Every structure is written in C-alpha cells, then in structure tokens.
Amino acid sequence: MSARAVKNRGATAPTVQDVAAAAGVSPMTVSRVLSGGPNVRPEKVQAVMDAASALGYRRNENARSLRPGQRTGLLGVVITNVANPYYAQVQLGVEEIVTSDGMRLLVGNSGEDTERERALVNDFIGRKVDGLIVVPAGGDVAHLRAATAAGVPLVLASRQVDGLDADVVLVDDEGGARDGTAHLLAEGHRRIAFLGNRLSVFTSRRRQEGFERAHREAGVAFDPALVRAGQNDDVAAHDVMIDLLALDDPPTAIFSANNRNTVGVLRALAEHRSAADSMHIVAFDDFELSSLMPFTLSVIEHDPRELGRTAARMVMSRMQADDERESEMIQLPTRFRR
Amino acid sequence: MSARAVKNRGATAPTVQDVAAAAGVSPMTVSRVLSGGPNVRPEKVQAVMDAASALGYRRNENARSLRPGQRTGLLGVVITNVANPYYAQVQLGVEEIVTSDGMRLLVGNSGEDTERERALVNDFIGRKVDGLIVVPAGGDVAHLRAATAAGVPLVLASRQVDGLDADVVLVDDEGGARDGTAHLLAEGHRRIAFLGNRLSVFTSRRRQEGFERAHREAGVAFDPALVRAGQNDDVAAHDVMIDLLALDDPPTAIFSANNRNTVGVLRALAEHRSAADSMHIVAFDDFELSSLMPFTLSVIEHDPRELGRTAARMVMSRMQADDERESEMIQLPTRFRR
DNA sequence: TTGTACGCGTTATCAG
DNA sequence: CTGATAACGCGTACAA
C-alpha cells in the first residue's frame, strides 16, 4: 500500500452531523450519547456507537471548548530547560498527576529567556489552558500577572517571583545549601568555592544565601574571590573551575549550586586529577550515577518529580470555580547525602 | 494585594467584539488588524492596537482553528519515557525546529504502554494537531494508521513499526551495535554479554542483530546464556548483571543496548569492583559524564537532539497540503568512542 | 477602506 | 426520550 493510498489530506474529519446521519438520529442525540448523557434509548445508543466507530469519529475538542463553561483539558507548562534532566523529571511528575484527569500538557521551553516565556504564556492563554505551571525565568512578570488576571490558575515551580501573588512550590534551597556547606566547614575546610547561576535566578540566590549563612554560623569568613555566580551551563562552569584551580591560593572544597555547574566542575577536575584528589565537592541536585563518580562528592538531594506532582496538584485544586483561598507556598525538603 | 483581588475567575475573556466596541470599529476590522491584513487606515490600526492591549485581548486560538483551512499550530509528541534524558533531548530538538514557526508542543508520555499511546494519539487528533511525532511503543498500530487516514502527518521517531506506512527517522542501531561489538571481539573478548530491552522493542532487536552480526563476521560463536533481553529499567538491568557476574564462567565484556541498561550494569559493577577492573563495557547511547566513569567504558554515540530536529523537519514538510511524496526513512549515523 | 452575514463543530436550552 | 434552535469566537465572502 503506497503512502498515497492511505492518506486522506483533503477529507474533512467526520462531525456529529455525519454520525447523526449515519445513525439516523439528530446531532443532539449523538452528543448526548458520546458525553455519557442519560435518557437515550439503548438501541439508539448502539446505533450511534456503531456509526461513530465506523466513521472513525472523534469529537473536535476545540469546538467543544468553545462553548461557555467547558474546559479545554489543557495544562500549560513552561520550563526553562527541558534538556536538564531535573526539569524532565518535573515534567514527568506533572503529567503523572494530570493525566489521570484526562488532561494534556502543552509544553514550552523558555531557555531562561523572559521574552520567550512571555510568548509561550500568552499563546497558552490564547489556547485557553485550564491552568499554568511555570518555572519563571525572572525579569518582567507582567505576562504572569496577566495570566492570573485572565483567571488562569498559575503555579510557579522551583522559583519564586517578587511582587507576584501566585501559588508556588519550592525546594528548601537555603536550608539545603546551608547543610551542605556546614558539612564542609565541619570537615575543616576554610576555602570553599561557590559556583552557581546568576544572582537574578531565585534558586541560585537562595542557595548562595545558605552558603553564606553556614559560614556565618560557623564564624568563618568566606573569600569573595571564590564566589562565582553567573554560569548557566556546564561549559561556563568548567571554565570558571579551571580559573579557580589556577589561583595562587585555590579552594580546598567546592559548593556547586546546581547540576549544570556540577557537570562543569567535575569535567574540570577530571583534567586536574592531582587537584581533584584532595578536593571535596558538595553538589546541589543529585544526578544519575553520582555515587559512582571518582571524586569526593556529596550531594544535596531533593525530588524533582515530587515537585512536579505537587505543582500539578496545586494547579488542579485551583481549577475549582469557587476557589477563593489565598495563594500558598509549599517548600519541599532536601536531604544531604555524604 | 490579596489573591482574591486580582483573580478574575468568572470574567469572560475579551473577544473581538469587545475590542471592536472599545476601538469604535467593527469586529472585522479588528480581525484584519490582528492578522496583519492590508488595507486598514493607520489611525484605526492604532485604535485597535490600543484597545486590544488595554483590554488584554488575546485571540482565541481554538475558535480560530475552527474555521476551515486554519491550522491549530499544535504538534503532538508521544514519547515512551520523558524522564529518559535521551528522549528529553529528542523533545528539545523537536521544539527547537517547530517553535520558529510559532507551533506548540502537545506532549504525552506513553510509558511504553500501547494503550496509553492510543489514548494520547486519539486525543491529539481530536485536538486537531497539525502533525504527530511518535516514539511507538509497539504492539497494535491501528491508532497510528487511523491518524494517517485522518490526514494527520505522522513521523515515527527512533523506532519503526511493521505494516505501517509512515515517515520514520532512526538511528543506525545495527551498524552501531556491530561496530561496538566488533571492537570488543578485536580486543580478544570471547564471552561478551548482551543486555537490552525486550525483543519486541524495535531498537533493541536491531541492536541485538548488530551484536550477532559482529560475532558472525568474526567467526565467533556467542553464548546464548549471556544474551539477556528484557530489561526496561536500570533496576532490572542491575539484577541481571549481578546474575551474570555470578555465573561459573562469567562474561569478560558487556554490550549494553541502551542507557537504562547501562546504568544498571554500572551500578552492579560498582558493587563488584574486582570483577569491574577487568571488564570492558560498550554502551549504546552516550550519557553525561560517561567519560568520567571509573570503568573501561566505550560508548556508541548518536545525537538525540538531531533526531528530534529531523523528525520535526519531516513532519513540517508533510504539512504542505499538496504533499504526495512516498514516505521516507532517514537513518542517523552512530559513532564509536573508545 | 469598512461592515454584514454566515458557518466552522459542539452542546445547553427548551419545546415536543 | 428526542430534536430544533441558538450561540460560543473567529475569519471568509460579499456587499457597501
């Protein structure tokens, strides 16, 4: 059978009208049957079912959602970086929850770009999503405020945004970073480098605060020259790490604030085995096979999938028409693993 | 400002009508302006723009797509496992291409379950996606055939399906597996274990064929007791690997057919350091930090993101109304890295 | 250059 | 229990 034989490009999809005609009933009866509506004679139900499957009828969800009071069953998810395994897990957690209600995911990648995030959010609103889960890139939040104003339930994931009243689910960034740093300090390290994203990224700021708090609590001053915030990917982190190793007085331990930085740090250390042997690394975000790494590596674990699930539950609970609760904040725990 | 103050749950979103009224023109003029249509007096254009932004108007894409000849701008993507970093990359590649045309991704996770795949595909068709990219779970393909019959361009990614006439983009599974296995044989290994997914999974079958071909070409018989196909995740692979290590005559090398099995293999070897030291592992699918693993590990690399890009290009080129080409198959190369 | 009328596919309402 | 009618928001065809 050739491609041509089975294609059907021009053919318009069958509609309720077609099914109705084939079943010898009115479109309304078809609609009733397919929506599981009551009060239809069994024989007609059968006729409709037969006609529908014979014609390969599938309800046009877009037309359906046009009617007032109908949901689209779409959830918009805007993520800063889908390729980051961490966020892939978040996406999976979200899907896991909403799929049981027959909802579908409209997924967009912002690439940490506020402008792209704005475009995605606006597009999703235009597609009448029933809710939005956003990992905000930061910067201007007018589009997020607009979403809320448009009555679309919004949940922020991983990152909080100033001046925006919305539900948010976070990881205990500061506490986790504090614990990890405290561990290094307790081991006697006094020159601990910090590698993280730029300070405008919520999680990085919080993790840096935890790093600083641990120092304060231990009564140890940290060297600002060892604090490097601004690496968005592993390549940049690698270069910064090489820099640090070249210092006259290099760090004896590393605190890496996220998995992109960790990858760069480890790659750099692999090129400097001698330095690596005495180096203790504490990494925020666990990653697959981290325990097999040939380094002294401890991780601050947390559960991205659970974060996705939590965000999904929050947004779904907001979809109740009569929901009027104040916005809430949920913080998920971290766990230090030596 | 409290949550309540800014929410607007009941308010219906502004429509062309509202914008028209505010701008003092007819709805048609609004539509023209927003679609970039020609022949509208500049002052009215301005009035419409102002009114639209003042009201926070966003075109209802669902209503728009209802009109004949209009696209939804949606692309359905069905993946077997979003949490697998490999497929996360595929998703990213797809998005990268289609986003430049303003298209959005409807993403679903089938979890290797044909039934869930069917539900997703049917739902996506009902949402009038302009195209579909599916990593098929295998088994019954009636729903995929139905998609094609409904005129929805379909591209299979990673895996081929028998008896279905559709575009497909694959990795050179057999060639890659053959190369990797040949390398082990050339090194003198004679007892090479194979760990892969169940045989009904297209890629695993092809990779196993490559494994066997390399043996035939080298004139070496492989021990069927060392061929273990059926592990879907790293836990199962770990257990199988432990089994293999316990054999009286254990393998001296491992061929792992995918990244899930590789993770399990490495975890098991980490528990048996002595066995690990003499073991050479060849793994299909590269993974982050693979080069830092404290094992003799070679990988068969390929580019999942490029696979996603290719699939996206294929499906987009099929969206031309007059497309009548026969379906095609593109196979992406692999590269062996010692 | 601008406006009116209609229909896309669906379902709520109401009459029968 | 069933069907006719209308309307959801938008864009095309046609009229002005």
Buried/exposed code over B263-289 (b: 16+ C-beta within 10 A; e: otherwise) = bbbbbbbbeeeebbeebbbbbbbbbbb
Helix H or strand E segment including B109:
strand B104-109
Q: Which residues from B are below 8 Å from A102, CB to CB?
A: 123
What pLDDT, on a 0 to 100 scale, did the predictor assign at position B38? 67
Q: Which nucleotide is nearest to B40 (CA to C1')?
A: C1
Alpha-carbon span A122 to A139, nearest angstrom: 16
- Identity of the residue numbered A316: M
Chain B nearest C-alpha distance from A333 (Å)? 21
Closest CA to A241 of A222, A217, A257: A257
C-beta of residue B107 within 8 angstroms of C-beta of residue B82:
yes
Q: Is A188 left (phi over 0), alpha (psi -120 to 50) or beta?
A: left
User: Of all protein residues, which has its CA closest to the C1' atom of D12?
Assistant: B67
C-beta of residue A334 within 8 angstroms of C-beta of residue A299:
no
C-beta of residue A111 within 8 angstroms of C-beta of residue A140:
no
Residues 9-48 of B with CB under 7 A from strand C: 25-29, 32, 38-41, 44
Q: How confident is the model at residue B331 (pLDDT cuts 50, 70, 90)?
A: very high
Integer distance in angstroms from CA A28 to C1' C14? 13
Helix (H, G, I), strand (E, B) or coil at B12: coil
Buried/exposed code over A31-65 (b: 16+ C-beta within 10 A; e: otherwise) = bbbbeeeeebeeebbebbeebbeebebbbbbbbbb
Q: Which residue has the tokens 């290094």?
A: A184
Domains of chain B: 3-55 (1.10.260.40), 71-171+305-337 (3.40.50.2300), 173-301 (3.40.50.2300)
Integer distance in angstroms from CA B231 to C1' D9? 51
Which nucleotides along chain D are within 7 A of a protein C-beta?
A: 1-5, 7-13
Look up residue A129 and give its two tokens. 């999503």
Calculate mean pLDDT across residues B109-132.
Answer: 95
Alpha-carbon span B249 to B232, nearest angstrom: 25
Look up residue A100 and give its two tokens. 């049981």
Buried/exposed code over A257-295 (b: 16+ C-beta within 10 A; e: otherwise) = bbbbbbbbbbbbbbeeeebbeebbbbbbbbbbbbebbeb
What pLDDT, on a 0 to 100 scale, did the predictor assign at position B3? 38
What pLDDT, on a 0 to 100 scale, did the predictor assign at position B322? 65
Alpha-carbon span A182 to A191, nearest angstrom: 13
Integer distance in angstroms from CA A101 to C1' D6? 31
What pLDDT, on a 0 to 100 scale, did the predictor assign at position B166? 93
CA distances from B3 to A83, A234, A325, B6 (A): 33, 39, 7, 6
| Alpha helices for chain A (secondary structure H) | 3-6, 16-23, 27-34, 42-55, 61-66, 85-98, 114-126, 142-149, 173-186, 202-218, 234-245, 259-270, 273-277, 304-318
User: Of all protein residues, which has its CA closest to the C1' atom of D2?
Assistant: A29
Q: How confident is the model at residue B325 (pLDDT cuts 50, 70, 90)?
A: confident
Chain A nearest C-alpha distance from B253 (Å)? 19
DSSP code at position A319:
T
Q: Residue B107: which of A1, A107, A288 has the nearest Cβ? A: A107
How are beta strands A335-337 and A329-332 bridged, if at all? unpaired
Helix (H, G, I), strand (E, B) or coil at B280: strand
Spell out the residues 6+ positions from residue A113 whose beta carbon is closer than 8 angstroms to its own: A137
The number of residues making up chain B comes to 338
Q: What is the DSSP string of B63-105?
A: HHHHSTT----EEEEEES-TTSHHHHHHHHHHHHHHGGGT-EE
User: Of all protein residues, which has its CA closest to the C1' atom of D10?
Assistant: B64
Mean pLDDT in chain B? 91
What pLDDT, on a 0 to 100 scale, did the predictor assign at position A280? 96
Chain B nearest C-alpha distance from A115 (Å)? 14
The number of residues making up chain A comes to 338
- State the CB neighbour count (10 A cutoff) for residue B30: 28
Closest CA to B254 of B204, B183, B172: B183
What pLDDT, on a 0 to 100 scale, did the predictor assign at position A85? 87
Calculate mean pLDDT across residues B63-72.
Answer: 88
C-beta of residue A251 within 8 angstroms of C-beta of residue A244:
yes
What pLDDT, on a 0 to 100 scale, did the predictor assign at position B256? 98
Summarize pLDDT for B88-107 with one digit per residue, the tens: 999 999 999 999 999 999 99
What pLDDT, on a 0 to 100 scale, did the predictor assign at position B4? 36
Q: How confident is the model at residue B67 (pLDDT cuts 50, 70, 90)?
A: confident
The one-digit pLDDT tens for each residue of chain A (338 residues) are: 333 334 454 567 899 988 988 888 988 899 888 887 677 888 888 888 888 888 889 999 999 998 888 899 999 999 998 888 899 999 999 999 999 999 999 999 999 999 999 999 999 999 999 999 999 998 899 999 999 988 899 999 999 998 899 999 999 999 999 999 999 999 999 999 999 998 888 899 999 999 999 999 999 999 999 999 999 889 999 999 999 999 999 999 999 999 999 999 999 999 999 888 889 999 999 999 999 999 999 999 999 999 999 999 999 999 986 677 889 999 999 999 98
Residue B246 Cβ < 7 Å to strand D = no
Q: Residue B1: which of A95, A126, A165 has the nearest Cβ? A: A165
CA distances from A294 to A267, A289, B261 (A): 11, 11, 21
Alpha-carbon span B198 to A270, nearest angstrom: 36
What pLDDT, on a 0 to 100 scale, did the predictor assign at position A1? 35
Alpha-carbon span B139 to A335, nearest angstrom: 41
- State the CB neighbour count (10 A cutoff) for residue B248: 4
Q: Which residue has the tokens 């082990």?
A: B184
Buried/exposed code over A68-90 (b: 16+ C-beta within 10 A; e: otherwise) = eeebbbbbbbbbbbbbbbbbbbb
Residue A40 Cβ < 7 Å to strand D = yes
Q: Residue B66: which of A66, A68, A148 has the nearest Cβ? A: A66
Positive or negative, the CA dihedral B314, B320, B325, B326 is positive
Look up residue A69 and give its two tokens. 């009071």
Alpha-carbon span A150 to B7, nearest angstrom: 7
What pLDDT, on a 0 to 100 scale, did the predictor assign at position A2? 36
Helix (H, G, I), strand (E, B) or coil at A129: coil
C-beta of residue B170 within 8 angstroms of C-beta of residue B158:
yes
Residue A66 Cβ < 7 Å to strand C = yes
Strand partners, B336: B300
Q: How many CB pairs under 8 A join A and B?
A: 203
| Alpha helices for chain B (secondary structure H) | 3-6, 16-23, 27-34, 42-55, 61-66, 85-98, 114-126, 142-149, 173-186, 202-218, 234-245, 259-270, 273-277, 304-318
C-beta of residue A250 within 8 angstroms of C-beta of residue A244:
yes
Summarize pLDDT for B155-181 with one digit per residue, the tens: 999 999 988 999 999 999 999 999 999
Q: Residue B61: which of A107, A126, A150 has the nearest Cβ? A: A126
What pLDDT, on a 0 to 100 scale, did the predictor assign at position B49? 86
Calculate mean pLDDT across residues B46-54.
Answer: 85
C-beta of residue B328 within 8 angstroms of C-beta of residue B314:
yes
Summarize pLDDT for A193-227 with one digit per residue, the tens: 999 998 888 899 999 999 999 999 999 999 999 99
Alpha-carbon span B109 to B88, nearest angstrom: 11
φ, ψ of residue A300 to 5 degrees: the values are -100, 105
Look up residue A284 and give its two tokens. 């925020």
Selected residue of A100, A107, A154 to mutate for chain B interface (largest B Cβ count, 10 A): A107
User: What distance, in Å, lies between the first and last C-alpha atoms of chain B?
Assistant: 60
- Identity of the residue numbered A226: L
User: Of all protein residues, which has its CA closest to the C1' atom of D3?
Assistant: A26
